[in-house]
Amino acid sequence: MQRPGLSLVPMQLDSSIAIKISMGGSMFQERMLMSRSDVWHKIKILKGTQYDKESVLKAILNAIDPADLVPVKYQAVGEDTFFLARNCAFALEKLCKTNLIIKYPGGDALILIVTLGYASIHDLKINLQPLLLAALTRRYDPNTKSLNLEEFHKDPEMDKTLFCPLNQQRLFSHVLKLTKSAIDTVQNLNLQKNGILNLSAIEASNLTSIRYLDLRYNTLLSTEMLAPLRKLNILKLWLDGNPLCENYSNPKQYIDSVKKYCPNLILLDGVYVKTHGLSGSYIKYVKDDAKQDLITKFISHFFDLYDQKDRSVLRGLYHKDACYSMTFNLPGADAQKKNLAPYAASRNILRSTDLNKKRQHIYFGTDSILDGMKKLPRSYHDRNSFIWDLMYDDGICLVFSLSGMFKTINKFHHVLAFNRTFVLLGLDDNEYNILNDQYHVEATEEEIPPNQIEEKCSLHEMVPTYFSATEKKELMSKFVEITSLNNEWSQTYLGESHYDIRRAITNFMKDYKDSAVPADAFLR
């Protein structure tokens, strides 16, 4: 290898020279320049301005994998683009084997021209260390001891100079070692969406303080890739979106396989792995993004309302002919001891032979359903524990099953598991109503302290808001029935209260007592 300070004569590689190098030609001068650590090489992409920067760089890096190449100073000159790189002899050899023609998504090809020894590191000084350190500092929260490296290569400040994809092992290792030396304790490490194939950099970094590790949407192919985590005390791990999640036929296999490498694991993909009946959130069985969005929004909206003190706010979600029932797996005596008696009053077809008793716990129609739900204690559902499966969709009806955990919000705080199967019916005004709601509650396999379920959603009372024409029509009908007011006056009270029927009735009663409602306001 040549010493810094020796004369530098740049040399250009095109496809013809690259072919000679790849075929084993001596090409002494070119190979000598490629191996020097004190020079920058220039890699030009002909007509590179036609393409997206990130896509171009990823295509080049994929073509030379597993060699490392750190693109620096990506910029345009005319219709071409170029970047600089150094310490990349192996990567340059790999580029030569492509004949400097790189496949690009969509079928096009990128034509490269490489200038070896473009500049000396003494003439062109680019210090990457401060850029990396600044990016790490921006992404570290000392209050939660969290380092967020999600899509690290897209960091807007760093990206102006340096393209730093963590799927390159050398870069990944360097970033984590810099973290170890320059950043305070890291307990939460987010590595989402970095295309990571290998975790050996985590082991080499000696970041032993990591407890929560988010590896979602990377390219880990098997749980064997988790072996570097063995020496860490990982308590919470997220792996959704990795190919390894497709390797298991049931949740137990998946969990057991992961726990070989993370034996102290408490949560996997947001689910308490020791809790009976809640495993398997590593996959959601839906391929339609629109349906996934619909169900996600429905679940969020439903439980925001269901967890209110007064479940009357659920009015409008249930179809007028809806059916609701609940089952509970603890015997009545055990439920009494645990202060869970309200749940024991359920339609349990396995333990009761009295058909009439069963039927009284099956509720039909909105009013009956809400009355049944009001008998249960107030609750808070742990959104992190939710897993669901879309079982049926014919464009009119959706049937999906939802499992998770919740805690009761009363003087007896209990953590319970649940499964809920919803049948949703599509309406003409692009709304959905619940046609059937089958609710099952059971004890968790291991007792979970209520304080482990963090209340991330507000438990303050909500003012219900109704949007659809169908819901407004139903509220109008109910208000007219209760007050005997005509449609015009009913519309006024409901409109002023933003269709909060309780407030509308309160306002009406106040005006009625004050004799402020004229006789012609009532139906004749």
Q: What is the pLDDT of residues 255-308, one digit of tens each?
A: 889 999 999 998 888 777 755 444 444 334 445 567 777 888 889 889 989 988
What's the chain's average pLDDT? 85
pLDDT attached to residue 350 = 47
Residue bearing the bigger pLDDT, 466 or 409 = 409
Whether the pTM exceeds 0.85: the reply is no
Which of 37-41, 78-82, 430-434, 466-470 has the weakest average pLDDT? 466-470
Mean pLDDT for 417-429 is: 87
CA distance 105 to 363: 56
Output phi, psi for 294, to 5 deg.
-60, -50
User: Hunting for tokens 């014919």 — which residue is that?
Assistant: 394
Q: Which of 209-223, 293-307, 486-500 has the highest mean pLDDT?
A: 209-223
Read off the pLDDT of each residue in 120-132 and give the average, rounded to a whole number. Answer: 91
Q: Is the separation of the CB atoms in 517 and 508 below 8 Å?
A: yes
Per-residue confidence band for 463, with pLDDT thresholds at 50, 70 and 90: low
Q: For residue 445, what pLDDT is reported? A: 64
Question: What sign does the dihedral 445-447-451-457 (CA atoms) show?
Answer: positive
pLDDT at 294: 84
Q: Which of 107-121, 314-328, 336-350 has the lowest mean pLDDT?
A: 336-350
Residue 454 pLDDT level (bands cut at 50, 70, 90): low
Mind listing the pLDDT tens digit for each residue in 228-250? 999 999 999 999 889 998 888 77
Give residue 216's pLDDT.
94
pLDDT value at residue 279: 40
Given a cut of 80, is residue 10 above it in pLDDT? yes
The CA distance from 503 to 499, in Å, is 8
Q: Which of 141, 208, 132 lies closest to 166 in space, CA to CA?
A: 132
Q: How high is the pLDDT of residue 4?
A: 47
Q: Which amino acid is at 442?
A: E
Q: For 355-365, what is the mean pLDDT? A: 71
**pLDDT for position 132:** 94
Bridge partner residues of 162 (DSSP): 72
> What per-residue confidence (pLDDT) applies to 83?
96
Report pLDDT digits (tens) over 139-197. Answer: 999 999 999 999 999 999 999 999 999 998 889 999 999 999 999 899 999 999 999 99
Q: Where residue 111 falls among pLDDT bands split at 50, 70, 90?
A: very high
List strands edge to edge, sheet with 267-268.
140-141, 146-148, 188-190, 212-214, 236-238, 267-268, 271-272
